[in-house]
Amino acid sequence: MIVEFKLNGEDVKVETGLAMRLLDVIRNDFDLKGTKEGCAEGECGACIVFLDGMIVNSCMMPMNNVIGKEVVTIEGFSKTERYKEIEKAFMVEGAVQCGFCTPGMVMATEGLLKLGISLTEEDIKVGLSGNICRSTGYEAIYRAVRKLTQEVVLND
């Protein structure tokens, strides 16, 4: 059937099944390859996108739940001012190695930042605990996000 939803700010239609995974639709039907499949069981966070402003694992999201909703992927988010701050913090802290988890990590980071409240170390770590990175040991990611939460909360 035809599913209509909003993707990175545009109204889109796609011929698909209601049980199809959002991850496959954005990667294959819309050729948006920044969202990655790591585990395909909702454990690793490499496929995180925003669905009506909430972070979701797109590998666990059937298209039925996307009808009429708004999806933002890394391609859409990377055009924002907020993204630039995250990119800078990730670069400066060295929060990237193999890069496969990174777009998902960026989306999870924004999921925390948009709460707009000051966050403790535990808040940040629990907030990122759904994202697996096998390379960095998370320390540089943690530092980048802590810096961002401090700056963003101060600025807002």
Partner 1 sequence: MKITDRINRVDGVEKINGTARYIEDIKFENLHYGRTLRSEISKGRIKCIKYPQLPENLWVIDANDTFINQVAMITTDMPIFADGYVNYKGEPIALIAGKDKNEIIRFMKNIEIEYEEEEGIFDFGSGDNIFSEQEYTKGDLETLEYDKVFEKSYSTGYQEQLYMEKQGLVGDFSDGRLIIYGSMQCPYYIKNALIHSTGLADHDIRVIQSETGGAFGGKEEYPSLLACQVAAASMKIGAPVRLIFDRREDIVFTTKRHPSKTLVKTYLKDHRIVGMEFDFGIDAGPYLGLSDVVLQRGILSLTGCYLIENLRVKGTTYKTNNIFTGAFRGFGAPQTLFALEQHMNQLANHLGYDPLEFRRPYFVKRGDISSTSGIYNEEIKLDEMADRLAEMAGYDKLKEEMGSYRGIGISFIPHGGGFTGDGEAEHIKSVVKLKKDTDKNIHILVSSVEMGQGAKTVLSKIVASVLDIEIDRIIYENPDTLLVPDSGPTVASRTTMVVGGLLYKAALRLKDSMESDVEIEIVENYKQPDYVKWDQENLRGNAYMSYSWSAVLAVVEVDPLTLEITCKDIYAVYDVGMPMDEKTFIGQVHGGIAQGLGYAMLEVMTTKDGLIEHNSFSSYTVPTIVDMPRMHTDWILNPYKEGPYGAKAAGELTLVGVAPAIASAVENAMDIEIKELPVTSENILKELLI
Q: 34 or 111, CB closer to partner 1?
A: 34
Q: Which residues pair with 14 in a beta bridge?
A: 3
Smallest distance, partner 1 to C-beta of residue 68, A? 25
DSSP 17-72: -TTSBHHHIIIIIS--TTS--SSSSSSS-TTEEEETTEEEEGGG-BGGGTTT-EEE
**Residue 18 near partner 1 by CB under 8 A:** no
Choose, by CB under 8 A, the member of 39, 54, 67, 117 that binds partner 1.
39
Rounded Cα distance between 126 and 1, Å, is 38
**Residue 141 near partner 1 by CB under 8 A:** yes
**Residue 87 near partner 1 by CB under 8 A:** yes
Rounded Cα distance between 73 and 133, Å, is 19
107-136 residues in contact with partner 1 (CB under 8 A) are 125-126, 128-136
Binding site for partner 1 (CB under 8 A): 33-41, 43-44, 46, 73-75, 78, 83, 86-87, 90-92, 94, 96-103, 106, 125-126, 128-142
